[in-house]
Chain A
């Protein structure tokens, strides 16, 4: 039987004032296994700890119970003390007789009685304790960033700058993401391309960074420190080694009617294309859906035009498998579809645009070459109306319940840009609230209103109608209680943003949950905002929730730091209190696998010894590195095969028994 020592702390008068410490020492002497019990003024002090160490040696104790303050306070202290005396640190149990006893009870007799019970429960548990040893696993010192927008680029750069290798997987042909589509950025009005392009180039040139553009993550296995990821590189039909990016192919391409996604579909592009001038890599890709060669077999002009012989119609998708220690999700966002907002004439009128479309119109590289024109007739508008919160803050089943966070600021920016270039255009913004928390944000918005004369009206637009070649906007001014009818030439809708739909598939592969809006959930909303619940998977940028560029960059850096913290370790030491499956009891039913939040349980066919016979059975295997020790599986397991080390069924029942004795 285990030899147990019990140490009852006075905690000065904190415990001893209400609990008769000596009586507790005496009462527990009769408990099974207890060979030694004593009390001390302050167990956590050096004197107290050395008393523990001494007793362990002197009485050859196999385990100790400390009756003191909350284990949340000093469990580690006492475990270390025990370890110093050669005891396994998990052979220490704490009876919380301060927070849960002396501090809440007045009556000394009652408190003493309860302290004895709590101590008994700890002894009963300790009698069933087993030495525990944390598992160790290695760390592959490379990181994967999924998504090559500003979030992904920044995370990758920060990791690479610290000396670790990073791969970026981006599904489109270039990195840059949404930010590359923007004209200017708030609140400084500096040009998006001017600040983004250098980062794109830096990422491409960085010796520690590899770019997998036009690529997708296909499969993920493994766990923190050692993920195996299958990446599919889609066929560009252009040999990236040979191409020199001259662009001759694009000029010669006869198929020029494909919708240009970079311009949000407002312009056309050729079948072979580079998304935009500063694309990284500067490498064309053939859109096989639009290419005559692929659709009809009759063309080949690009091949002829290419002096580098880089066009390769036979090219196929390539799949590579890489190992990583950490994965960062930076899958970004898109503006939601406005199909269900017909009252604003979005689908009917070319002059009703989303903000991102309008951004392209404002952009010098955009469909109008930067001149502000009505797409319906190419004329300069006289009046522009901005409508806020289209699809955001909705509870009607069509939109999003959340605030998209960036619209107030970019609308102010766009209004200001319009007014700056064309002071004669009337600009009206209909808003519900203007939300400007952020450094220099409110000042920025006030500048739009005060310095540029943008008219802000509190109230929503009810409908937009085409009328006599213009748009009639019916709205309300809530402060005046007036209904307004405004003639406008262009209407810009601040569409709600939503996570990129591709994120769902990736989330499922990595066992990262999504909330009801499809944003990835954090490990803890306040304290672990850039970590996903799956160890080794981190979140960066919009995929976690709406945020603007500075916030995205800040989060990208934070995610990078978390990755670095992980990669800088040679070994990962786990929490030894993890689930353990008894393979002789396991039915292989997979109940535990279904609810494990960490994907820590897998099943395999295994030879199992049962009553002296060998049988092949499907049994659960717990990955100790991935398991976080919640214990959900232990209750889901009908056969009782799954147990939790440190909190076994027998231990908890022994505590129950001791308390109810």
Chain B
């Protein structure tokens, strides 16, 4: 998607010059081939550092939460999946829609440099997108890898190329088609296991947790001013998992708190330094909500009510949750 960077810079320049926006939120070129950083641009002469390539996986919606009114209006570049998050934040009054100018940008599916490293590709100096392949120049020679094999986990099951809210769009029609796996397939696999196997699976995964809070900090809906896990008065605050129970507790409660609000942006798993498949917990909740209470995806629009804040007199009984298994 580097091909649209020119248009993105033009748009940013135009709106900054016109005074429509006071800042631009995008990605800034990094030092390596794969490390653009989310950044604000306040003047047009900074814009040549604006980047948009296959490694712009981070969801910029989260930055709008802390973005105060005093800074004025901000232009933000959002990929289709990021717009779900912004919708949810708008619906929760965490972002003032009036304060944001959304430019939806097309997306070819974002890449995960760790996947390249896991393939034994080390010393990465430069990455070229060449059609279906990536050409990787390394300290140890040229390597290639099919692009699809380096996709971020979250991009392997894309929610679609449609921007759910935007003021303008760039390259939206040009989004590359990517293999779209059933996003609930992994959850269904786990559901098929025996409870003992599931327990072993999650124990193995969650025992890796170092409680760095990256999942929480990156999550667009984990936007509490003070998280209950940081609040000494909550009675559950902790800075480390001092027991297996706390490893479980943190992730159960986090998944529960975002149930009905999670836009399935996949940031939790992307940012986890310990490669814990945290998105599975959230997807499980989404899958359950859909099978118990009907079609719903948080972030589809800014004015829908979370299924956990509504009810129907003939809802399923809690003990019957597993009868709905496999319905989806």
On whether A and B touch (CB less than 8 Å), the answer reads yes
A interface residues with partner B (beta carbon < 8 Å): 516, 584-591, 594-595, 603, 610, 617-618, 636, 638-640, 649-650, 653
In the bound complex, residues from chain B placing their C-beta under 8 Å from that of A584 are 225-226
Query: A603 vs B94: C-alpha distance in the bound complex, in angstroms?
Result: 13
Contact A650 B235 (CB under 8 A): yes
- Kindly state whether residue B306 has any CB partner on chain A within 8 Å: yes
Contact B309 A594 (CB under 8 A): yes
B interface residues with partner A (beta carbon < 8 Å): 92-94, 223-228, 231, 233-235, 257-258, 261, 305-306, 308-310, 313
| Closest B residue by C-beta to A608 | B225
In the bound complex, residues from chain A placing their C-beta under 8 Å from that of B258 are 638
Contact A639 B225 (CB under 8 A): yes
In the bound complex, residues from chain B placing their C-beta under 8 Å from that of A586 are 225
Task: Supply 9 A–B pairs (Cβ within 8 Å), ascending by A.
Answer: A584-B226, A586-B225, A587-B92, A587-B223, A588-B93, A594-B309, A617-B225, A639-B224, A653-B235
Tell me which of A590, A639, A649 contacts B93 (CB under 8 A): A590
Tell me which of A516, A587, A650, A653 contacts B225 (CB under 8 A): A587
Given A587-B223, A638-B224, 8 more pairs with CB closer than 8 A: A587-B94, A589-B92, A591-B92, A591-B306, A594-B310, A640-B231, A649-B235, A650-B235
| Closest B residue by C-beta to A632 | B309
In the bound complex, residues from chain A placing their C-beta under 8 Å from that of B234 are 640, 649
Query: A588 vs B96: C-alpha distance in the bound complex, in angstroms?
Result: 12
Q: How far is the CB of A297 from chain B (nearest CB, A)?
A: 42
Contact B313 A638 (CB under 8 A): no
Query: A369 vs B308: C-alpha distance in the bound complex, in angstroms?
Result: 58
In the bound complex, residues from chain A placing their C-beta under 8 Å from that of B227 are 639
Contact B309 A636 (CB under 8 A): yes
Tell me which of B235, B306, B313 contacts A516 (CB under 8 A): B313
In the bound complex, residues from chain A placing their C-beta under 8 Å from that of B310 are 594-595
Q: How far is the CB of A514 from chain B (nearest CB, A)?
A: 12
In the bound complex, residues from chain A placing their C-beta under 8 Å from that of B233 are 650
Query: A589 vs B91: C-alpha distance in the bound complex, in angstroms?
Result: 8
In the bound complex, residues from chain B placing their C-beta under 8 Å from that of A649 are 234-235
Q: Contacts A589-B92, A640-B234 hold; do A610 and B225 have CB atoms under 8 A apart?
A: yes
| Closest B residue by C-beta to A639 | B224
Q: Secondary structure at chain B's binding surface: helix, strand, loop or mixed?
A: loop
Contact A594 B306 (CB under 8 A): yes
Contact B306 A587 (CB under 8 A): no
In the bound complex, residues from chain B placing their C-beta under 8 Å from that of A638 are 224, 228, 257-258, 261
In the bound complex, residues from chain B placing their C-beta under 8 Å from that of A587 are 92, 94, 223-225
In the bound complex, residues from chain B placing their C-beta under 8 Å from that of A639 are 224-228
In the bound complex, residues from chain B placing their C-beta under 8 Å from that of A589 are 92-94
Closest 4 pairs between A and B when the two form their complex, measured CB to CB: A589-B92, A639-B224, A594-B309, A638-B257
Contact A603 B305 (CB under 8 A): no
In the bound complex, residues from chain A placing their C-beta under 8 Å from that of B308 are 636
Query: A650 vs B233: C-alpha distance in the bound complex, in angstroms?
Result: 8
Contact B94 A588 (CB under 8 A): yes
| Closest A residue by C-beta to B311 | A595
In the bound complex, residues from chain A placing their C-beta under 8 Å from that of B235 are 649-650, 653
Query: A653 vs B228: C-alpha distance in the bound complex, in angstroms?
Result: 14
In the bound complex, residues from chain A placing their C-beta under 8 Å from that of B93 are 588-590, 603, 618
Q: How far is the CB of A549 from chain B (nearest CB, A)?
A: 31
In the bound complex, residues from chain B placing their C-beta under 8 Å from that of A594 are 305-306, 309-310
Query: A160 vs B203: C-alpha distance in the bound complex, in angstroms?
Result: 70
Query: A603 vs B234: C-alpha distance in the bound complex, in angstroms?
Result: 23
Query: A590 vs B257: C-alpha distance in the bound complex, in angstroms?
Result: 14
Contact A585 B94 (CB under 8 A): no
Q: How far is the CB of B299 from chain A (nearest CB, A)?
A: 14
Q: How far is the CB of B127 from chain A (nearest CB, A)?
A: 39
Query: A179 vs B305: C-alpha distance in the bound complex, in angstroms?
Result: 41
Contact B225 A591 (CB under 8 A): no
Query: A588 vs B89: C-alpha distance in the bound complex, in angstroms?
Result: 11
Query: A638 vs B261: C-alpha distance in the bound complex, in angstroms?
Result: 11
In the bound complex, residues from chain B placing their C-beta under 8 Å from that of A636 are 308-309
Q: How far is the CB of A121 from chain B (nearest CB, A)?
A: 16
Query: A227 vs B118: C-alpha distance in the bound complex, in angstroms?
Result: 66
Contact B228 A640 (CB under 8 A): yes
Query: A586 vs B223: C-alpha distance in the bound complex, in angstroms?
Result: 11
Query: A264 vs B233: C-alpha distance in the bound complex, in angstroms?
Result: 65
Which of A516, A584, A617, A638 is most buried by chain B, counting CB atoms within 10 A of its CB?
A638
Query: A586 vs B261: C-alpha distance in the bound complex, in angstroms?
Result: 17
Q: How far is the CB of B283 from chain A (nearest CB, A)?
A: 19
In the bound complex, residues from chain B placing their C-beta under 8 Å from that of A653 are 235
Q: How far is the CB of A430 from chain B (nearest CB, A)?
A: 33
Q: How far is the CB of B104 from chain A (nearest CB, A)?
A: 24
Contact B92 A585 (CB under 8 A): no
In the bound complex, residues from chain B placing their C-beta under 8 Å from that of A585 are 224-226, 231
Query: A560 vs B305: C-alpha distance in the bound complex, in angstroms?
Result: 36
Q: How far is the CB of A402 from chain B (nearest CB, A)?
A: 15
In the bound complex, residues from chain B placing their C-beta under 8 Å from that of A640 are 228, 231, 234
In the bound complex, residues from chain A placing their C-beta under 8 Å from that of B309 are 591, 594-595, 636
Q: How far is the CB of B270 from chain A (nearest CB, A)?
A: 22
| Closest B residue by C-beta to A652 | B235
| Closest A residue by C-beta to B89 | A589
Q: How far is the CB of A531 from chain B (nearest CB, A)?
A: 20
Query: A203 vs B227: C-alpha distance in the bound complex, in angstroms?
Result: 58
| Closest A residue by C-beta to B259 | A638
| Closest A residue by C-beta to B257 | A638
Query: A640 vs B237: C-alpha distance in the bound complex, in angstroms?
Result: 12
Query: A584 vs B225: C-alpha distance in the bound complex, in angstroms?
Result: 8
Q: How far is the CB of B16 from chain A (nearest CB, A)?
A: 26
Query: A590 vs B261: C-alpha distance in the bound complex, in angstroms?
Result: 12
Q: How far is the CB of A661 from chain B (nearest CB, A)?
A: 15
Q: How far is the CB of A619 from chain B (nearest CB, A)?
A: 10
In the bound complex, residues from chain B placing their C-beta under 8 Å from that of A588 are 92-94
Query: A210 vs B129: C-alpha distance in the bound complex, in angstroms?
Result: 78
In the bound complex, residues from chain A placing their C-beta under 8 Å from that of B306 are 591, 594
Query: A288 vs B268: C-alpha distance in the bound complex, in angstroms?
Result: 62
Q: How far is the CB of A636 from chain B (nearest CB, A)?
A: 6
In the bound complex, residues from chain A placing their C-beta under 8 Å from that of B228 are 638-640
In the bound complex, residues from chain B placing their C-beta under 8 Å from that of A591 are 92, 306, 309
Query: A73 vs B306: C-alpha distance in the bound complex, in angstroms?
Result: 39
Q: How far is the CB of B94 from chain A (nearest CB, A)?
A: 7
